[in-house]
Structure 1
């Protein structure tokens, strides 16, 4: 289980101090195992990065996130002379395949991707296929501010080992229209009962889309009395035994879903739109602040609230990684460091902009946290299973329901 503690979010500090001043960062409290960032080496990185263009492959399905990255790009270019270009993708697995093709073609430099938004099975694939560059996160000054009580050293049980820098925290939740759902379901059994009583008013995105696959893992965890096997490499026998209740649950659920389970939304954005249009009463999110943010910006009705399973919300960190053949490695490091800065993390956590929880520890900042900066890690947390379970779940789901 993950630790459920999460720091309250923080008040923006002066830009010059937060983003470029090494004395402040070096004075931040460090654990004994941590090594100070080499200030001279970082200054060399800043010089090398100036004038570079960083192509950042990131999920492009959220207008709020896309707008946030536009702001971040403007700040990075103004402060560091680095241009950040978001390459919007539906699934980061597409980027993994692109990098694998580069590797097989012998393209070891001048690659098309400089920075990746990644976690889970995609990080596992990148690491195993040696598609990432050398470890870099320890060179980022703002890593000294990260809250290490959060899941930032492992990614779905896979050791990060400096190959990624943490960016934010996600928790699976239901965005519920409380005008229609007066008592929100808080367990797999309650969700099934509600769906049967309100046919056509709930659904989930089609796996292997991230939110759909995450929903499968959430329900699997709900239905598994002893989750220990889920945190190691899945075997045929354990997968068959532990996934059997999930398939029985889905068999019972699907006839009560939107379009009777014969058609599934292509992603979270479509599901959210169905909720806004009134076709659904609940939609799946992996951002505990998305419901509040969407209500504030008018993309969801004011009666929508976020709820999670009482046993615990599937929780993970999402990360930034640099490919092995990045054309602008220095620029990518500068961009990643900015995205870890208190100013960027505070804006990201603010529901008015994104509502994605910060990964920083206010105790390391020497400043009073802001009560209005954004949501805390608000739900009881359940750790992500080993990536092998997700791969098997996706394949088995496609075999059973994908046709």
Structure 2
């Protein structure tokens, strides 16, 4: 499991330095004005893209920064670009100023020394996350962020279903999910690997079926991989024939999974955004009979971040954008079900009264989970497991 003592020591170190580091913020603001910031971010969801358009307008009006959303379908492509620039000797004029990132991509950039920083503790709004009380804010897939990432939002696997089709209790464990799929063929599936949501489903299943969960929280060892993952492949071999289109085809990503639910092709699905089903109901993408839940014993959760490449020519502008993303205004809008529904990383209980009021949400949406339902969050395995699982899945199932 993640080293909690190390995380605590890091938190104390970062928070102790906040006042001194924040004193130069005006210099950062002055340098940022007039800069164009190229933000490489996943663009697979209309609501997210619309939210980023709003961010563009706000940082332009408030800080004189031109923010360009470079739309990508795989964060790894932005990481590869920065790596290629470093190998070519381009250490000052990089083409990537900000990346939406976490997990194995952060691990790759950190190991290859592709990140600018530490910078997160220099952002005035970082203090609003209160990392001393919320250690997940400074931990990414077991790895301490050490200030090289700024938190942006939270995620946790949440299942959702059509209560008009599933009148009884939905499956509450991975073993029950297999039995349910066998009894309801074609009514469930998961996104094609290497999509991050599909890959997260693999990890959730692996945690449930393997006897050696401790191995998942340290770098993967080839000598252990086969034994640790053998129960997962047995599980998937049993599950796939009962999936949508008999497991011969998979949806590309979470939005396509949601569309299949909206079209009535599926009766049960899942997301990495706990508020997504409720937001989709509010936007008439899913029926009002949609309900959300998490598995007994908890589901995988993590924090997603933004990072600045080491060779960004617009670091000041990127820092100002990252700080704005942590503002109560931006975080509350992001969490709004009518906008995106992505959970905040701020410690709302410690905000002032006016800012706390920004986060109040209507509770009459039948698909919206109560916060207590998300209390059991399973930590992410070491990022090396994500890559290893993706490669093994593709070798085993692609082309079969």
TM-score, structure 2 as length reference: 0.90
Question: Which of 29, 49, 53 in structure 2 is aligned with 1:66?
Answer: 49
Distance 1:139 1:315 in 2: 26
Question: Offset at 1:169?
Answer: 0.6
How far the C-alpha of 1:135 sits from its partner, in A, is 1.3
Match of 1:129 in 2: 112
1:299 equivalent in structure 2: 285
The correspondence of residues 179-218 of structure 1 with structure 2, limited to 5 A, is 179-182=164-167, 183-218=169-204
Q: Aligned partners of 1:399, 1:294: CA distance in 2, in Å?
A: 34
User: Cα deviations across residues 152-175 of structure 1 (Å, max 9, x unaligned)?
Assistant: 111101110110001111001222
Give the alignment of 1:3-402 within 5 angstroms.
33-148=16-131, 149-182=134-167, 183-367=169-353, 369-370=356-357, 372-373=360-361, 376=371, 378-379=373-374, 380-402=376-398
Cα offset, 1:377, TM superposition = 7.0
The answer to whether the 8 A contact 1:164-1:320 is kept is yes
* Structure 1, 381-390 or 280-289: larger mean CA deviation: 280-289
TM-score by length of structure 1 reads: 0.89
Q: Deviations over 1:111-152 (max 9, x none)?
A: 111111000000001111111112111110001111321511
User: Equivalents in 1 of 2:235, 2:180: separation in Å?
Assistant: 13
Counterpart-to-counterpart distance in 2, 1:52 and 1:373: 35
1:318 aligns to what SS in structure 2?
A: strand
Greater helix share, 1 or 2? Answer: 2
Structure 1 segments (4+ residues) deviating >6 Å: none
In the alignment, structure 1 segments of 5+ residues that lack a partner are 3-29
Higher mean alpha-carbon deviation, 151-160 vs 358-367, is at: 358-367
Deviates more, 1:208-217 or 1:126-135: 126-135
Query: For residues 50 and 372 of structure 2, what CA distance do their matches in structure 1 show?
Result: 23
Structure 2: runs of 5+ lacking an equivalent: 3-12, 363-369
Larger RCO (CA within 8 A; separation ≥ 6):
1
Deviation, structure 1 residue 65: 1.0
The offset of 1:363, in angstroms, is 4.1
- Distance in 1, matches of 2:334 and 2:170, equals 28
Q: Once superposed, what is the RMSD of the aligned Cα atoms?
A: 1.9
Counterpart in 1 of 2:9? none
Distance 1:121 1:363, change over 3 A: same
The structure-2 alpha-carbon separation of the partners of 1:180 and 1:37, relative to structure 1 and needing over 3 Å to count, comes to farther
Separation in structure 1 between the aligned mates of residue 97 and residue 292 of structure 2, nearest angstrom: 34
CA distance in 1 between counterparts of 2:197 and 2:272 reads 7
